[in-house]
Amino acid sequence: MRNQSPKSASFQEEISHIETSIAALEANRSLLGDLAADTALKLLRERLATLIQPDQAPDERKRVTVLFADVVGYTALSENLDPEDVADIMNRLFEAVTKKIHRYGGTVDKYSGDAVMALFGAPQALENHEEMAVRAALAMQQAIRQFSAALEEERGFRVQMRIGLNTGEVLAGLVGGLNTRSYTVMGDTVNLAARLESAAPVGRILASVGTAQDLQAIFDFEPPQQITVKGKSEPITVYLVVGEKAERGRVRGISGLHAPMVGREAEFAQLQAYFQETVAQKVWRATAVTGSAGIGKSRLQREFTAWAAQNFPATRILAARCYTHTRTTPYYFIAGLMRSLFNLSVAMPAATAVTQIRQTLRQFTPGLDETELAYQLGSLASVLGLTIPDDPMTHLAPEQRRDRTFLSLERILLAASGVRPLLILIDDLHWADALSLDFLERLLQLIQQGQITECAATSSSSAAPRKTRTALWPGFSTSLTPPHTAPVPSQPWTAPNQNNW
């Protein structure tokens, strides 16, 4: 690794400011629109490239997920259409799939003829790069299907795509001549991703063990298969991605492929102690795990969740995650918690979901009167995007609707905690939407009134919203490398106070 030459404070500040601006633009892409966002991002990235000279960007080893995608049907296009028409079609196709790559935090490394290579976790760190790469691949396949349908109607041709995914260590840095260097990654991880793309069935996504091993609770995979690829003396195990699970599982990891967590024993023991005290003594705990991106916050939280599920089966675990592309989606992680609480799958019909919610609310609070039930149903409907008849929330002003929704959520969680202990886990809190953050402030107060433990993992990046680093955790959240956990002091458990609306 080359040594990094010293830089002035102002130079470092400009680089940091540009990187923060890039992250903010990506996070607000849905508000700005792709055209405005891509235009601004292009200018910022070009400026960043001029600032980072070869001696200021040392080679570094990084763990990333590499995506290779190849267009099937390109040959037929090139043999039957004019070159200008082929170029126009391919430009529009790549524009469609590139939007999906960017949406999930990826960076296009290169286009090559009818193929594209993208990186997740480089040059910008992305802690859940495996998951984001799979999400991007699924979205790319959906975009290709839509594009192909329109192309068939327009030109009479269809196109499809093969995608390969691999996760592992790469050497990242600037490559090329002195005045034409560009950032890329190299290593066997890249080579294998390309081999997996070639081996993938048309229209499918083929993932390595490294990519799939911690994602079983999020995505469905076909049974593992052994394939032989060029450059490998032994067959390798691969998984075809089916799609996102209708309902998330509680523990990630494919059986037989779980790797032990190393170097977080102290923090893991802290989380265990806090939770054991909550269950045994009915005290409350709220814990934040902070640290820079890619340092292992999500892994620590996953291990803790698995331990709690195994050792405290009576505990109800509610898990949700925030993403860069959901920062403007109201109640996004709150909706995830509610789906977990009421056992609602994404594919469940609305009428079935409403019936299940109604029945569960009555289980949580026997004797719940019809008026309160209606308000709680209406509040959940607005959070989950459901429509119910005679919704009393529709008659309220926006501010009243917000306050009533918060009150309903508060009462629901208090009632649920009276039935079974609750463990609430929120990952990547720094990407949370504003309304969810507002409710989280109330939730931290709510924790004092019920048998609830909350654990939130958030980034210490300067691009993270200020509110998640200060207002929500006053005198509490810290940012260290490696990450650590910090407790909120215990308080005696008191019975929930359920005042009428």
Q: What is the mean pLDDT of each run of 10 residues along the chain (501 residues)?
A: 42 63 64 69 68 54 93 91 90 91 87 90 83 94 94 93 95 67 80 95 96 87 92 91 71 46 71 80 72 70 83 87 82 90 81 92 90 94 89 90 93 87 84 88 68 55 41 37 40 33 31
Rg for the chain, CA atoms, rounded? 24
Q: The tokens 């935090």 sit on which residue?
A: 105
Residue 412 resides in a domain? yes
Residues 193 and 76 in one domain: yes
Residue type at 245 in one-letter notation:
K
Length of the chain: 501
Q: What is the pLDDT of residue 458?
A: 54
Residues 240 and 113 in one domain: yes
Residue 78 resides in a domain? yes
Q: What is the pTM of this model?
A: 0.59
Q: Could you tell me where the DSSP H helices lie in 226-283?
A: 265-281
At which of 30, 56, 82 does a domain end? Answer: 56
Residue 492 resides in a domain? no
Residues 308 and 322 in one domain: yes
Element (H, E) at 72: strand 60-72
Q: How far apart are CA 28 and CA 81, in angstroms?
A: 38
Q: What is the pLDDT of residue 358?
A: 93
Handedness of CA 4, 6, 11, 16 (dihedral sign): positive
Report the CATH number that the domain containing residue 465 is assigned in CATH.
Answer: 3.40.50.300
Beta-strand pair 160-175/60-72: antiparallel
Find the domain containing 1 and state its range.
1-56
Residues 211 and 292 in one domain: no
Which of 207, 258, 202 lies closest to 236, judged by CA?
Answer: 207
What token pair was written down for 448?
């004092």
Residue 39 resides in a domain? yes
Q: What is the pLDDT of residue 454?
A: 60
Residues 294 and 346 in one domain: yes
Residues 97 and 153 in one domain: yes
Q: What is the pLDDT of residue 162?
A: 97
Q: What is the pLDDT of residue 348?
A: 78
Residues 26 and 95 in one domain: no
Q: What is the DSSP secondary structure assignment for residue 218, as one 8-state letter?
A: T
Q: How far is CA 138 from CA 100, 134, 259, in A?
A: 9, 6, 26
Q: How far apart are CA 330 and CA 383, in angstroms?
A: 8
Residues 65 and 44 in one domain: no
Beta-strand pair 225-227/205-208: unpaired
Residue 459 CA, chain-centre distance (Å), reads 13
- Three-state helix/strand/coil letters over 484-497: EEEECCCCCCCCCC
Residues 82 and 102 in one domain: yes
Residues 272 and 417 in one domain: yes
Residues 44 and 190 in one domain: no
